Structure 1
Amino acid sequence: MALSAGRAVRAALLVSVFTCGATVTSAFAQDTAGEPQAPEPQAQQGGIGDIVVTARRREESMQSVPVSVTALTAEQIQRYDMTSLEKIATQTPQFTVGRASNGSGAQLTLRGIGSSSTSIGIEQSVAVVVDGVYYGQGRVINEGFFDLEGVEMLKGPQSLFFGKNATAGVISLRTANPTATPEFKAQVGYEFRSKELVGEFVGSGPLTDTLGLRVAVRGSNMFGGYFKNRGIDKYYNTTDIATGDVNTHFAPAFDGDNPGTREFLGRVTLAYDPGDRFKFTLKANASLSDANNNSWNYGLFRCAGDAYALNPNVPCKRKFNIYQNYFPADLAGTNPFSKKDGALYNRYRSWGITGTAEYNLDDVSLTWVTNYNRNTNRWACDCTFVSTDLGAAPSTEKTSYYAFSTELRAQTTFDGPFNLLVGGYYQKTKRDYTQSGSFGNIEDSTAPAAYRYLGYFKRSETDGKTLSAYGQVTWTILPKLEATGGVRYIHETKDSYLVQPYVNGALQALFVQNKTINGDQTFNDWSPEFTLTWKPNENITVYGAYKTAYKSGGFSNSGFVSIGTIPSDVAFAPEKARGFEAGIKTLLADRQLRLNLGVYSYKYVNLQVDFFNSQTFAFITTNAGSARTKGVELEFEFAPRGLPGFNLHGTANYNRARYLQYIAPCYGGQSIAQGCDTLFQGAPGQDLSGAPTAVAPKWTGSLGASYETEVSDGTALALSLDSRYSSSYLASGFGNPLSKQGSYLTLDGSIRVKFHDSRYELALIGKNLTNRFIVGGAVDAPNTGSGTGTASAVMADQVGFVSLPRTVQLQATVRF
């Protein structure tokens, strides 16, 4: 039988990768940001070069900085076309991204610590920082991160240098700057599974002797998708509470692949450098993304029975399939933010501008970073997530978020034993949240047309302000021994409200119309940090650190207001972390071998967790009593001088993340025998003390190799193969055994042929070649699970946030 084009390409890729071996994973950071990416002499000679990171808000070698950091260089990022946080996570085993449809839009997890996706009011415990600016919303995963200079993953609490909401770590991205000489790049790619066509253009160079410009644009269009939507036509009835009439609605099955994304990304960078100690950089960026479904990766992957509880025609399998429907015609265009044709969609728009001024005195460096960013997200969702005639839940949402921030810091470079870093930070934010939902099989013909088929319509806003000051003292005790101590103070206010302007009369015993819940919150925190570093020689760094961190408390904007709701029901306390970390970083064998080892133990108090009650559609934000994550991490890289262009690298990580004390809600359909034998806020509860946190595998690791060699004059061949391993874990934060993700091994590979000294390049890039089904988070399927807290309970079916399947992309690049 003849192979299809897509299968033939995949087969060719697999054969080539396995027979030829693999490519240099370790490219070396440029000494000056934005300089031409010419091959470095050290790379040509073999051996390991330096990677420059900014883990302490200043440029330092990754091997000498006393922080647990994983860095990806521009060459590594380009090798696998890592243009989003989800794609970056495929190369960082301890970091997991679970894309969610509503709430915050994502579940980012690092070392088993992350934030639930179902509440938009919860900031992520893994902070995302772009060009030195904090982006706090989970929907940052919709941003297109391309034309990057580097990515740093800082593990563990990072409050001193990155402020609030960095309790689990930081993903820091640096975009490329203008180059000293004119450079242009045009690239086109085609991904076979999703039928996605991608185009990218970068132009960079000087406009004058003191002014440089870089323009980068990227556009893509999917003519298919990653997931097959196998939705089943469904009919459901609603009862008109005004007349008692029963009306039947037809919701046709979705008839296309998902997500069918269309995307445009752009960035303009101006760099002014007169050469007299002053430098100013201005970056403006925009992201526009449209998908044909906001819950396109919601896979029904494990059920209490063999099939979905509400529709026996929907199988419960770990397949890249979803089962969702359009809005019925009579709801389409009527419900707020719905399309007239009833189509599902997700529409994301964002833009931002960042100005960075640097001024260097003889012994003091001043840096001032100011940013404004704004994003808006709208969607229409089949929020049953699985085709069913019961409990149909067409829902819509519109959220907007803006943030203004400015930060000024000073760093001394005195010759004496003491140096100082001090800084101040101000941020103002606003979140505007509006959501509607149709459920309960009811309608009201006497309501305004936009509300007729709604169960509820709710609004919420939060205005936030943050003032922060921080400082660090560095004491060189001995020429090879250094101690640092610092602290960050944070003062924060959040003014919020939540109200349901409309609730269907049949639901007003559960939800209350026009009852406003206000939340005026004030938080204050001191986060100290101490580090001792010993450098016996230039190739060995030994360090130990005590760190603390703070994540803002807040207000559950996506909650509900019932008769008994009071402000404390939708407010939650700050999350805090404290603990120790120690490590040794070495360069051995004449800088041919990098070997780093680290150990850590951190305790988290008031871990913020959001719970979705699948039977009432209610979201409850809670603070887990405490949790601890502790482990050991090993990283190596081998680049022999005797074989220039070859690189072997890998990691091995052990992590144990457990709740220490937590009386939690029961998962849907949890029985008494399964531990649902206590109370949580008056509802069935369980004791999760000693249970694992969500997405917390004990073992993760990676192993990869790469090789680049010249095959003829001006022509080079580059091969790479990278694997990622994870042991099993529970995707649910509430111990549901059905949410278990089994252990998995993924393979990524690439083949590149470079002509005329890399002026022309043809590449074949494959990711998740093993086509593993991976869940990065899970929720109980709506309306499933019954008898919670009784002896005869039936567990809720599980809907997972599924990562991308196997993808293969053909890519052509021209540089001129």
Structure 2
Amino acid sequence: MTSKAKYPSAITSTLCAITLGTWAGIPAVAAADDDLLEAGRLEEVIVTARKREESLQDVPVVVNVLTEEEIDRYALDGLESLAANIPELFIGRSSNGSGAQITLRGVGSGRTTMGMEQSTAVVVDGVYYGHGMFLNEAMFDLASIEVLKGPQALFFGKNATAGVISFNTANPTEEFEAQMRAGYETTAEEYSAEGFVSGQISPNLLGRLAVRVSDMRGGYFDQAAVDTPISFLDLATFEPVTRNQAPNDGSLPGTEAYVARGTLVWTPTERFTARFKASINERNDEANAWNFVVFECPGGFTQPNPAVPCEREFNAHVPNAPDGVGGNLPDMKEDGSSYNEYNSWAMTADLSYDFGNATITSVTNYNWHRNKWGLSQNVASPTSYIAATQNTSLSAWSNETRFQTYFDQPVNFMVGFYYQNTDRDHDQAGAFAPLEISTNPPETQFTSYIKPSGSEAETWSGFGQLTWRATDRTELAAGVRYIHETRDSFLVQSYIMPALQGLFLQDVPVYGDQSFTDWTPEVTVTYYPADNLTFFAGYKSAYKSGGFAVSSLIVAATVPSDVTFEPETGDGFEVGMKSMLFDDQLRFNMTLYRFEYEDLQVDFFDSVTFQFITTNAGAAKVEGVEFEADYAPNAVPGLLLSGYLNYNKGRYTDYIAPCYTGQSIAAGCNTNFGAGLGQDLSGEPLAMAPDWVASLNAAYEWGTESGHSWEVGGNLRYSDDFISSSFGAPLSRQDSYFNLDASLRFRHSGGHWEAAVIARNITDDFHISGETDLPNSGSGTGTNDAVPADPVGLVDLPRTVLFQVTYNF
């Protein structure tokens, strides 16, 4: 059954999220579609949420969709920009650690542990990418983005306990098309240019080449660091040595980026299609940790340096390594300046054969990335410092093969097989405590530790679903996925400064030989009482891989359980309604859900000992209700009103957790976590889980007598307050806030060119999408005289204004 409901080409978000205008103003009905512009109807959209093409309004999945037109309209070029458009989605950028903190409906992964994959799976053209470093990928020239909420293991495999973000890149066109676009963003002083050429190469071969380059002459944040003299102790002479720590002279972030993607589609017969994609990506930042801001402190200033205030301002303190340290620490620049370098490439072969009533599809991918950085503690201190470097790489290859039937009968099925192999190499070096040994070789004069580590993993998975059209208006679907994983890992500190041996262990490796097996079932019931009305109910489950924290430090108290963690699982129920009313002028959708999680993976950083521990929370629960509506009235052609209202309650239900650094007995640090101090977080909120979020959107497009058109849009988004710490630290609270975006576009009558101004976060509000503790802050944990650590926010971008011109050939 195909719904007659229609959706706008410019508005295609589904259940509980009309988030499309949140980045650049609300979309209007496309000017080129005069019939829709006059009628005010909402247009149908096709999605692949169940690995087959289905109407968005018919599919029993909670999914938000952004089309190619919307992506271009909002200048969406990566995960961060997407987060502003999806309710309950937070993405905090972190150059170090795992690279990102992605949270959806309060379920997410911290950013400090390299070995932890995300709870929200990122998929590109059907290929799974589990690493947070994907945040550095420039996603452009896209056909659509689908965001699926809740457990999604059946169709998307492991690590989809919170949901899925699926990017579909644009494919070649049969007719020749080409486009050039240039932009200038005023806050970061960023110049950008991108374009594509697409068309037929030979009778059975189509091709597309897309390229994007960008260069920042400035940055989003202001440099607030100042020269700070630090007193070192030379352990060879026991004489003090004063070394200056100067501010990083790069922009924050001062990014240069290059990306190219090529696609070939070969159809030697009507039944066989082969699609090949290859991409290369490079991003270089002049600073690392450029969006880290110490925003709240017990005394109003940072504990490592009383001269540095704690402010909710777009000011970052990014220093160089102290004089002499630069060039001596492995992978540190000669001048000790902070930097981040990311490189990647990928190749995908998507082969499909159509038997007429069945299709077999095989998707094979190989991808590789390397991330190198150097940084110093983002608040310089006269008595302490931290300088560190990282060189990590990941290679992965995978294959998914599916067989799907389309018989003209009540029963159909899909079966599939998935294999993935990943290999991560991770090298890290650090220098801290103002100690040096002048008689040592340069590479160990200041070095506190050198730490190589690695992990190799293998995944085998089989899955299948049976669908039964019980009546013309009722569908029952049931499926299950089997997952088996093995992971071999190691972690060792090959060098420890002699003065620190005993506190940190040299040549004492920790090994992880892990094996996991899980079954994840799914059952849905869908009822279509009318062509414009859908009801659905489903039970869903998901599994997230256990792992090994390859970025941890080995201290005297470290035990294997500190660096290994168990799989995370989730299951629960959702019910929903999708409707189109008033001759396709109004869409109103609603979803209720309740999901419970066991062994939720939560990583902990002790800002005093620098110890990383990944823990498993006993249990957590998220439940809520989501509403969304779009209205395109016939009486006012070109006008579109939309909005959403979401309530989400995310709470720990059973979790004896580590105390946050500087938590007092009175504040709840009154029990034990393993061999250390602990607190009971049962009943406390999850991190990055506001109870309420809402949006009101409006857009209006009108034509002129000369045939040109204008479009103006605005979006007002609201977020309730929330705790950003996974351990309930009260100083990490983000207050409720409003965010205002707007856009103005002029389109030439011939359709060849358009000019746009896109303004985001117009009120320049300060808000965060993640949190960690400032090193060398906090004290007295588990006592009556404790001082909480200073929270460091992963801060969203300030006000930005983008001027953009597009020309279509």
Q: TM-score, normalised by structure 2?
A: 0.95
- 1-side partners of 2:691 and 2:447: how far apart? 44
Please, which of 770, 785, 806 is the counterpart of residue 792 of structure 1? 785
Structure 2 match to 1:770: 763
Contact 1:194/1:223 (8 A) holds in 2 = yes
CA deviation after TM superposition for structure 1 residue 100, in Å: 1.3
Contact 1:577/1:604 (8 A) holds in 2 = yes
Contact 1:528/1:547 (8 A) holds in 2 = yes
Please, which of 152, 156, 168 is the counterpart of residue 158 of structure 1? 152
Structure 1 match to 2:442: 449
- 2-side partners of 1:568 and 1:687: how far apart? 20
Structure 1 match to 2:716: 723
Structure 2 match to 1:278: 272
State how 1:38-49 maps to structure 2 within 5 Å. Answer: 39=33, 41-43=35-37, 45-49=39-43
Please, which of 20, 24, 27 is the counterpart of residue 25 of structure 1? 27
Please, which of 373, 393, 405 is the counterpart of residue 400 of structure 1? 393
State how 1:656-675 maps to structure 2 within 5 Å. Answer: 656-675=649-668
Please, which of 679, 691, 694 is the counterpart of residue 684 of structure 2? 691
CA deviation after TM superposition for structure 1 residue 93, in Å: 2.1
Please, which of 598, 604, 609 is the counterpart of residue 605 of structure 1? 598
Gaps in structure 1 of 5+ consecutive residues: 1-21, 29-36
State how 1:482-561 maps to structure 2 within 5 Å. Answer: 482-561=475-554
Q: 1:706 to 1:142 in 2, by over 3 A?
A: same
Structure 2 match to 1:738: 731
Q: 1:43 to 1:501 in 2, by over 3 A?
A: farther
- 1-side partners of 2:199 and 2:636: how far apart? 35
Structure 2 match to 1:759: 752
Secondary structure of the structure 1 residue equivalent to 2:295: strand
Contact 2:425/2:453 (8 A) holds in 1 = yes
Please, which of 358, 364, 384 is the counterpart of residue 370 of structure 1? 364
State how 1:91-240 maps to structure 2 within 5 Å. Answer: 91-240=85-234
Residue 586 (1) aligns with residue 588 (2): no
CA deviation after TM superposition for structure 1 residue 477, in Å: 1.0
Structure 1 match to 2:354: 360
User: Aligned AA for 1:136?
Assistant: G
- 1:527-561 residue CA offsets vs partner (Å, 9 max, x unmatched): 00000000112211100000110000000101122
Structure 2 match to 1:465: 458
Contact 1:23/1:718 (8 A) holds in 2 = no
CA deviation after TM superposition for structure 1 residue 256, in Å: 4.3
User: Aligned AA for 2:431?
Assistant: S
Contact 2:659/2:781 (8 A) holds in 1 = yes
- 2-side partners of 1:205 and 1:43: how far apart? 29
Contact 2:297/2:791 (8 A) holds in 1 = yes
CA deviation after TM superposition for structure 1 residue 41, in Å: 4.3
Contact 2:245/2:380 (8 A) holds in 1 = no
- 2-side partners of 1:137 and 1:411: how far apart? 29
- 2-side partners of 1:27 and 1:365: how far apart? 35
Residue 84 (1) aligns with residue 86 (2): no
User: Aligned AA for 1:635?
Assistant: E
- 1-side partners of 2:131 and 2:230: how far apart? 36
Secondary structure of the structure 2 residue equivalent to 1:500: coil
Contact 2:494/2:507 (8 A) holds in 1 = yes
User: Aligned AA for 1:225?
Assistant: G
Residue 338 (1) aligns with residue 332 (2): yes
- 1-side partners of 2:510 and 2:234: how far apart? 29
Structure 2 match to 1:615: 608
- 1-side partners of 2:637 and 2:286: how far apart? 47
- 1-side partners of 2:34 and 2:658: how far apart? 56
Structure 2 match to 1:34: none
- 1:107-148 residue CA offsets vs partner (Å, 9 max, x unmatched): 000001100110011100011001110010011111000111
CA deviation after TM superposition for structure 1 residue 434, in Å: 0.8
CA deviation after TM superposition for structure 1 residue 566, in Å: 3.3
Higher mean C-alpha displacement, 101-110 vs 714-723 = 714-723
- 2-side partners of 1:275 and 1:805: how far apart? 52
Contact 1:27/1:75 (8 A) holds in 2 = no
Structure 2 match to 1:312: 306
- 1:696-749 residue CA offsets vs partner (Å, 9 max, x unmatched): 100012221112221133311111112221100011111010000011111111
Residue 257 (1) aligns with residue 251 (2): yes
CA deviation after TM superposition for structure 1 residue 390, in Å: 2.5
Contact 1:93/1:725 (8 A) holds in 2 = no
Secondary structure of the structure 2 residue equivalent to 1:664: strand
Secondary structure of the structure 2 residue equivalent to 1:259: coil
- 1:540-594 residue CA offsets vs partner (Å, 9 max, x unmatched): 1100000110000000101122334332221100000010011000011111111
CA deviation after TM superposition for structure 1 residue 209, in Å: 2.2
User: Aligned AA for 2:639?
Assistant: F
CA deviation after TM superposition for structure 1 residue 310, in Å: 2.2
CA deviation after TM superposition for structure 1 residue 633, in Å: 0.3
Q: 1:448 to 1:496 in 2, by over 3 A?
A: farther
Structure 2 match to 1:16: none
CA deviation after TM superposition for structure 1 residue 643, in Å: 2.6
User: Aligned AA for 1:25?
Assistant: P
Contact 2:460/2:483 (8 A) holds in 1 = yes
- 2-side partners of 1:514 and 1:38: how far apart? 67
CA deviation after TM superposition for structure 1 residue 44, in Å: 5.1
User: Aligned AA for 1:660?
Assistant: T
User: Aligned AA for 2:283?
Assistant: S
Residue 654 (1) aligns with residue 659 (2): no
Structure 2 match to 1:9: none
Secondary structure of the structure 1 residue equivalent to 2:561: helix
User: Aligned AA for 1:88?
Assistant: L
Q: 1:564 to 1:792 in 2, by over 3 A?
A: closer
- 2-side partners of 1:356 and 1:39: how far apart? 32
Contact 1:559/1:618 (8 A) holds in 2 = yes
CA deviation after TM superposition for structure 1 residue 644, in Å: 2.7
- 2-side partners of 1:747 and 1:305: how far apart? 32
User: Aligned AA for 2:519?
Assistant: W
CA deviation after TM superposition for structure 1 residue 525, in Å: 0.5
RMSD: 1.4
User: Aligned AA for 2:329?
Assistant: N
Q: 1:769 to 1:695 in 2, by over 3 A?
A: same
User: Aligned AA for 2:27?
Assistant: T
Secondary structure of the structure 2 residue equivalent to 1:226: coil
Secondary structure of the structure 2 residue equivalent to 1:76: helix
Q: TM-score, normalised by structure 1?
A: 0.95
User: Aligned AA for 2:333?
Assistant: K
- 1-side partners of 2:313 and 2:478: how far apart? 51
CA deviation after TM superposition for structure 1 residue 43, in Å: 4.8
Contact 1:91/1:724 (8 A) holds in 2 = no
Q: 1:25 to 1:245 in 2, by over 3 A?
A: same
CA deviation after TM superposition for structure 1 residue 26, in Å: 6.4
- 2-side partners of 1:300 and 1:569: how far apart? 27
State how 1:29-68 maps to structure 2 within 5 Å. Answer: 39=33, 41-43=35-37, 45-68=39-62
- 2-side partners of 1:46 and 1:666: how far apart? 56
- 1-side partners of 2:777 and 2:572: how far apart? 40
User: Aligned AA for 1:729?
Assistant: F
CA deviation after TM superposition for structure 1 residue 445, in Å: 3.6
Contact 1:241/1:505 (8 A) holds in 2 = no
- 2-side partners of 1:701 and 1:75: how far apart? 23
- 1:12-66 residue CA offsets vs partner (Å, 9 max, x unmatched): xxxxxxxxxx9762668xxxxxxxx964743553211111111101111111100
Residue 416 (1) aligns with residue 409 (2): yes
- 1:437-464 residue CA offsets vs partner (Å, 9 max, x unmatched): 1112222345442122111110110001
CA deviation after TM superposition for structure 1 residue 467, in Å: 0.5
Structure 2 match to 1:640: 633
Q: 1:26 to 1:573 in 2, by over 3 A?
A: farther
* Pairs aligned (count): 786
CA deviation after TM superposition for structure 1 residue 239, in Å: 2.1
